[in-house]
Amino acid sequence: MQPAAVIAGLKGIREPTIRRKVLAEALAQGDPSAWVDALAHVLARAIGSADGDARAAVDTLAHAVGDAALGYDARQTLYAAARRHGHSALARLFLDASPATATDEEVARQMSPERPLRPRGRPLSLGERKSLARTHARDFILLLVRDPHPDVVAVLLENPHLTEDDVVRMAALRPTVPTALLTIADHARWSTRYAVRRALVLNPWTPLHMAVRLATTLRPRDLEALAADATAPIAVRQHAAELLVAGRRRAAAVS
């Protein structure tokens, strides 16, 4: 199936995880050159116009590139094709290695098996905190969103009483554990929320490859702010700037 047909068919799939899997499988099997040209076109449409279908496809792409259905060899082939065709912003999406965003000592400190919920409270074991993460009580949830342990985060994300504002706080937490942020970024429900993705992009503890992928889904106004943010990693700022250029070229071409 041609890339354009696959991309068009994504909007008919309601479940985000299935959409991502379908796109990942198609990327792994299709012609890399055809795919990178089609995806670069969709990226430019998403940023250079108010095209909701293109924006939804880019949201799916940001996660599909990390799906297990798209193996290492396929990602490398697509990366090389994107570079060869001059789509450097698109090429970054296929990279999955990141420099460390926290030292081993910082991670070890945040991963402590015992942690109090309140400054002067009794230290709770990891098992106790995971159990509390299933609570319906808002006062406990508001305390637990500050817990950086990935196991607590994973349980809390499944709590039906969790709100989007809660997850934004979790995504913006610093210092934290990079793996915990990846857990949020990969979550089928919460990763679809724009405010959550934006918070992850702005968090310096988010692994670079994920920050780049999620930055691709931001709206032009947020991309402009990101490109000018001196505190953001250089690669993320450059990525935002290149996306804006591609969007402006697209807008100029159709005006």
| Count of domains forming the chain | 2
For residues 108 and 202, membership in a common domain is answered with yes
For residues 74 and 89, membership in a common domain is answered with yes
Last residue of a domain, one of 98, 117, 136: 98
Classify residue 251: in a domain, yes or no: no
For residues 109 and 200, membership in a common domain is answered with yes
Look at residues 107, 113, 105, 110 and name the one whose alpha carbon lies nearest to residue 129.
Answer: 113
Last residue of a domain, one of 54, 77, 98: 98
For residues 63 and 150, membership in a common domain is answered with no
pLDDT of residue 1: 67
pLDDT of residue 254: 66
Classify residue 153: in a domain, yes or no: yes
For residues 128 and 156, membership in a common domain is answered with yes
For residues 125 and 189, membership in a common domain is answered with yes
pLDDT of residue 248: 87
Range of the domain at 33: 3-98
Distance CA(226)–CA(172), nearest Å, equals 15
Distance CA(88)–CA(55), nearest Å, equals 19
Residue 85: how many other CB atoms lie within 10 Å: 15
Write the CA distances from 144 to 114, 128, 147, 176, integer angstroms.
13, 11, 5, 13
Burial bucket for residue 192 (CB in 10 Å: 0-12, 13-18, 19+):
middle
pLDDT of residue 21: 96
Cβ contact 80:33 at 8 Å: no
pLDDT of residue 255: 59
For residues 121 and 174, membership in a common domain is answered with yes
Distance CA(115)–CA(202), nearest Å, equals 26
For residues 164 and 110, membership in a common domain is answered with yes
Classify residue 255: in a domain, yes or no: no
Last residue of a domain, one of 166, 182, 206: 206
pLDDT of residue 101: 83
Classify residue 213: in a domain, yes or no: no
Residues in the chain with pLDDT < 70? 1, 254-255
pLDDT of residue 193: 96
DSSP 176: -
Write the CA distances from 205 to 12, 140, 155, 189, integer angstroms.
35, 25, 20, 21
What does the chain come to in residues?
A: 255
